[in-house]
Structure 1
C-alpha cells in the first residue's frame, strides 16, 4: 500500500494521454468541412440549420430503392438528378426548392432520405460526432447506388448527382463509377486528392472562399488531377461565402440569396451539359 501514492501520478498521466489520443482520433474522423484550419470545430458547418418541413415543395414523397425520397418532375423525362443532402436531411425547404428548380428544367429530381428519418438535429444532447458514427458516407454511397439502380429499372436512361456538404462526400464516391453521367460537389466535406484521382465522370466543384475544408491550394490539386486523368471538370470558388452557403443561406440576405442561386444555376448547367447528351 505504501507504493500507491507513487502510482497515482503515473495513472493520471496515462489516462490523460489516452484521452488526448481518443480526442485526436475523433477529430481526424470528421469531414474536413467540419473543422477549421486551426483544428477547432467549425461553426460554419452547422450554423443556420433549416426548419424542416415534411410537406414543403411542389413534389411528393415516394419510395425509391427502399428509401423515402422527395421527388419532383415526371419520370417520362427519362433523365434524373439525385440531390444528396447535408446532415440536416431531405426535408430541408431550401433543398426541396432546388429540386423543384431541377424539375422545372425537365429532369426527374430525387432527394433521398439517406438517414431513415434520423437527420442531425441542432441544439440537442447528441453531438454531430456521435451522429456521424451511425450515418457514414460509405453507407450513403451504397444507398445511392441502389437508388440509381431502381431509377434505371423504372425507365430512367441517365442519372446525374449533386451533393451538399455530407452529400458531397457521398457523390464523389459514386463518381468513381460509371453509374452516373456527371456530378457536382457543393462545398463538400472530407474529399481527398485520392478521391478525386479515382473519379471517372465529369465533375464540377462549387466551393466557398471561406471554407477551410476546401482551400484554394487543395482545389488546384483537384483540378490538376482531374485534367491529368482527362476527366472534364469545372471548379469555381465563390467569393465571400462559407461552407453550406448553397443550401443554408439566409432568405433575408439578398447577397446570400444571389450567391446561392448562382451556384444552383452552375450546378444545373453542368448536369444538363452531360445528361442531355444521352
Structure 2
C-alpha cells in the first residue's frame, strides 16, 4: 500500500458554514451533486470522489461550488449508496464499518465509470479531472487512465495500493499533511519513488501544521489550517488549468 486504510481521523473535522449553490440529481439512479460554472459550460469537468463522509457533507458541496466558480462543471456522485460514515460521531467504529459496510471496487468502479460516461456523452465533457479526498484518492488512481480520467488530484489519500499508483496514465498532483497516520512520511516517500519512475507529470506538496483531512475538514478559525486548505484547493485548480484548459 502507498497509503494506509482509513481510520478514526477520517471522520473528525469541522463542518463549514455556507449554503450549497448546486443541486442533487441522479445519474443512473445514483444521487449526484451538480455544480455549474457561471457560463453553464460543461466542456471542462471535475469529478469529485469523496472521503467516507460522502456527498451530503456540506464541506464537499462547497468545494464543488468553488471548482465551478473557477470554470469547471463539477459533479460529486454518492459512492456509498446512501450509507456514508457520520462526521464527528465519537463512538463510531471505523474499522468495523470498513470490514462490514464499506463499498469495495466492484461496487464503486461502476458508479465512477457510469458518471464519466454520462459526463462525456450527455454533457459533452472534453476533459475530466478527478479529485479524490481520502477514500476517493484510491479511485482517482484506479481511473487515471486513457478513456477515463484525464488528470488527477488527491489530498491525503487512503487505501491506495502500490499497483494502483503504478498503473496511472495521466498527470497526478497530491496534497499531503505533515501529521497523517494514513499517509505518513514513509508512504509519501514510497509514492515519490513510484512516481519518479513513471512517464507522467506529478506533483506532491506537503503542508505543515495540519493533519489528515485538512483539505476538506480543516478548522478555518486556525490560521495555518485555513491557509493550507485554501492552498491545497488552489493547487488542484492550477493543476487542472495546466492539464485541462491549456492542453
| Match status 1:72 vs 2:35 | yes
Give 1:209 shift.
1.0
Query: How far, CA to CA, are the matches of 2:27 and 2:246 in structure 1?
Result: 25
1:178–1:228 Cα change, 3 Å:
farther
Which of 230, 235, 242 is matched with 1:266 structurally? 235
Which residue of structure 1 aligns with residue 75 of structure 2?
Answer: 110
CA deviations over 1:40-89 (Å, ceiling 9, x no partner): xxx422222648x9x94111111124311111115523111011111111
1:85–1:111 Cα contact (<8 Å) kept: yes
Q: Secondary structure at the match of 1:76?
A: coil
RMSD between superposed Cα atoms in Å: 2.4
Q: Which has the higher relative contact order, 1 or 2, with Cα contacts under 8 A spaced 6 or more apart?
A: 2
| Match status 1:32 vs 2:4 | yes
Q: Secondary structure at the match of 2:41?
A: helix
More helix by share: 1
Which residue of structure 2 aligns with residue 82 of structure 1?
Answer: 47
Gaps of 5+ in 2: none
Which residue of structure 1 aligns with residue 211 of structure 2?
Answer: 242
Give 1:174 shift.
1.2
Is the deviation greater in 78-87 or in 119-128?
119-128
Which of 110, 117, 127 is matched with 1:142 structurally? 110
2:137–2:157 Cα contact (<8 Å) kept: yes
User: Which portions of structure 1, spanning 4 or more consecutive aligned residues, are displaced by more than 4 angstroms?
Assistant: none
Aligned length: 240
Which residue of structure 1 aligns with residue 180 of structure 2?
Answer: 211
1:137–1:166 Cα contact (<8 Å) kept: no
CA deviations over 1:26-50 (Å, ceiling 9, x no partner): xx9xx71535xxxxxxx42222264
Give 1:202 shift.
0.7
Which one has the largest radius of gyration? Answer: 1
Q: Secondary structure at the match of 1:32?
A: coil
Question: Structure 1-normalised TM-score?
Answer: 0.78
Gaps of 5+ in 1: 1-27, 36-42
Query: How far, CA to CA, are the matches of 1:50 and 1:116 in structure 2?
Result: 22
Superposition pairs for residues 182-197 of structure 1, below 5 Å? 182-197=151-166
Give 1:167 shift.
1.1
Query: How far, CA to CA, are the matches of 2:103 and 2:19 in structure 1?
Result: 26
1:137–1:170 Cα contact (<8 Å) kept: no
More strand by share: 2
Query: How far, CA to CA, are the matches of 1:277 and 1:65 in structure 2?
Result: 32
| Match status 1:62 vs 2:25 | yes
Query: How far, CA to CA, are the matches of 2:59 and 2:194 in structure 1?
Result: 32
Give 1:115 shift.
1.5
Give 1:270 shift.
0.8
Query: How far, CA to CA, are the matches of 2:91 and 2:12 in structure 1?
Result: 16
Question: Structure 2-normalised TM-score?
Answer: 0.87
Q: Secondary structure at the match of 1:247?
A: helix
